[in-house]
Structure formats: structure tokens, C-alpha cells
């Protein structure tokens, strides 16, 4: 695929990731268990290809790049722990919208450490995305303690995701996508496994149907969605990859209407339109 077409990969990535909250809501397992098996199955499905085809690519790692890739996996694990837990307390629309505020964290980190110029259109895009986010989720803070706690968890997930994406932008230009994602997904599953043991959730009996949901999470939102994001980080500025993720709540809210009869408020609809405008500005911007 030509470099100039790399932006197009973000479209199926957003579509795939938008199903994550829907599948998670259908699961009856504890949040940390869902998060663990999502990443465990993702790493397990990738592992055989590493030994058969891509073993030589792991030589691309230096000690430094491997260390910060491990750190990225650590942040990804905590991202899923915080965000999936938030879905137990607040609505799909609010949780997904808040967790997709991660572009602001990516943009700030990229500006400080990578000296990436966001540009006027990029600043406007991020601002519009955040305005849309505020319109969709802003009223949740006054509904109740559970909703407030869910919002806090979703925001914590956004911070972790921002750190994960930022590190990916630093490392990915030096590495092929395969060794990077296998290492990141593997470390995330180890991180979540440790959290699961600490919380005691590893002792809980899991209904067999949930394993099907875990596999769907691994195949769609992770192996398609997150992998395409990670591939794009080598060719596209971090804040651009980050801001396209805000398309997730728009689609997730639509799926929630048809599957769970969760109808968005007027503020959600208006916010979604603003987010779409922000996405259009991103794709219209010239250059990488």
C-alpha cells in the first residue's frame, strides 16, 4: 500500500474498534477478566506467525526500543482495565466518548517530546472533538456517583491510551509492525493477568459463551482495529491517528441503539456531528 493511502487504513480501524464496547457489554465476566482474555487471545493468535514467518524481525529490537515497547504494553493493559471497568458504571456513549479524549494527551506529548507541529487545522480539529465530547458526556457528572466514577475511570483509560499511542509513535518508525504489536499485546496480557490475580477475579467461574466474546474482541477491535492504528503510527503524525479514534463513540452509540436500545440524548447527537466535522478536517489536511 502506498504511503499516501495510509490514512485510509484508519477507516476500518475505527469501524472495528467501535464494536468493542458493544461486545464488552454483552459479556457477563468481570472487567479485568474480559480485558485479560482480550489481550491474551490477541497475543496467542499472533504468536505462531512469529515463530514460523517473522522470527527474524524481532532482531530489529534494541535494548532501548524493547524496553519502551514493554512500557507501551503496560500502559495498554491499564487502558483496557480502566475503560472496560467504566462500562459497568456509565453508558456506552459516555464511556466511549470520554476514553476517546486521548488525542489531547497524544498531541501534547508529541508536541513536547517529538516537536511535531499540529498546525491550525489540527488544533481546530482537536478542539472540535473535545467540544463534541463535552456535549455528549458533560451531563453525566451530575447524574449520580456511579456515573461520575465511570466517567473518571474512562478518563483514566484515555490517559493510559494516550501514553500508549505516543510511545507507539516513537518506536514504530524503527520497528516492523508485527514484533511491536506481539510484544505490546503480550505485555498487556501479562499486566492484566497480574491485576486479575491481585483482585482475585481469576478464581471466578466463566460462562462458556463469554469465551466467544473474548475471541471476537481479539479478532475485531484488537487484531484489526488496534493493529491498523499501530501500523499507521509509522506513517502518520501521532495526533492524527489519535483524533480519528474519536469516530468510535459515534459508531458505538449507533450500535447501542439497535442492540441495547440505548438512545442518545440530543447532546449526544449534536456532539457526534461536531466530532464528524473534526474527522473530516483531519482527512482534508495536507501532508502526513
Domain that holds residue 271: 3-284
269, pLDDT greater than 50: yes
Give alpha helix (H) positions in 87-218: 92-99, 102-109, 119-137, 145-171, 177-199, 208-217
Q: Quote the pTM value.
A: 0.84
State the residue for C-alpha cell 491498523: 228
215, pLDDT greater than 80: yes
Number of C-beta neighbours around residue 177 at 10 A: 18
Q: What is the mean pLDDT of residues 2-9?
A: 59
| Number of structural domains in the chain | 1
Which pLDDT value is given to residue 167?
87
Which pLDDT value is given to residue 61?
83
Q: Each residue of 147-206: pLDDT tens digit?
A: 778 888 998 998 999 898 888 878 877 888 888 889 999 999 999 999 999 999 888 889
Which pLDDT value is given to residue 285?
57
Contact between residue 278 and residue 130 where contact means Cβ atoms under 8 Å apart = no
Number of C-beta neighbours around residue 4 at 10 A: 9
Contact between residue 93 and residue 271 where contact means Cβ atoms under 8 Å apart = no
Binned at pLDDT 50, 70 and 90, residue 10 comes out as confident
3-state secondary structure of 166: helix
Please state, in angstroms and rounded to a whole number, the distance separating the CA atoms of residues 77 and 79. Answer: 5
Amino acid at each position: 500500500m502506498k504511503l499516501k493511502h495510509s490514512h485510509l487504513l484508519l477507516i476500518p480501524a475505527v469501524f472495528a474498534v467501535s464494536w468493542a464496547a458493544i461486545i464488552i457489554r454483552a459479556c457477563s465476566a468481570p472487567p479485568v477478566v474480559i480485558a485479560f482474555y482480550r489481550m491474551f487471545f490477541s497475543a496467542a493468535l499472533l504468536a505462531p506467525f512469529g515463530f514460523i514467518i517473522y522470527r527474524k524481525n524481532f532482531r530489529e529490537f534494541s535494548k532501548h526500543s524493547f524496553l519502551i515497547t514493554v512500557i507501551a504494553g503496560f500502559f495498554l493493559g491499564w487502558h483496557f482495565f480502566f475503560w472496560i471497568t467504566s462500562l459497568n458504571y456509565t453508558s456506552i456513549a459516555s464511556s466511549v466518548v470520554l476514553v476517546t479524549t486521548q488525542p489531547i494527551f497524544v498531541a501534547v506529548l508529541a508536541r513536547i517530546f517529538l516537536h511535531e507541529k499540529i498546525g491550525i487545522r489540527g488544533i481546530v480539529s482537536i478542539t472540535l472533538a473535545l467540544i463534541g465530547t463535552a456535549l455528549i458526556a458533560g451531563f453525566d457528572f451530575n447524574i449520580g456517583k456511579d456515573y461520575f466514577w465511570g466517567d473518571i475511570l474512562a478518563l483514566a483509560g484515555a490517559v493510559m491510551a494516550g501514553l500508549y499511542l505516543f510511545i507507539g509513535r516513537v518506536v514504530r518508525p524503527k520497528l516492523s509492525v508485527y514484533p511491536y504489536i506481539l510484544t505490546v499485546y503480550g505485555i498487556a496480557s501479562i499486566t492484566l493477568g497480574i491485576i486479575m490475580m491481585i483482585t482475585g477475579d481469576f478464581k471466578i467461574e466463566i460462562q462458556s459463551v463469554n469465551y466467544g466474546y473474548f475471541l471476537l474482541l481479539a479478532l475485531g477491535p484488537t487484531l484489526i482495529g488496534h493493529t491498523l492504528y499501530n501500523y499507521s503510527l509509522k506513517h502518520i503524525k501521532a495526533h492524527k491517528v489519535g483524533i480519528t479514534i474519536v469516530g468510535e463513540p459515534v459508531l458505538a452509540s449507533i450500535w447501542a441503539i439497535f442492540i441495547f436500545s440505548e438512545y442518545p440524548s440530543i447532546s449526544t447527537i449534536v456532539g457526534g456531528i461536531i466530532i464528524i466535522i473534526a474527522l473530516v478536517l483531519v482527512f482534508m489536511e495536507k501532508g502526513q
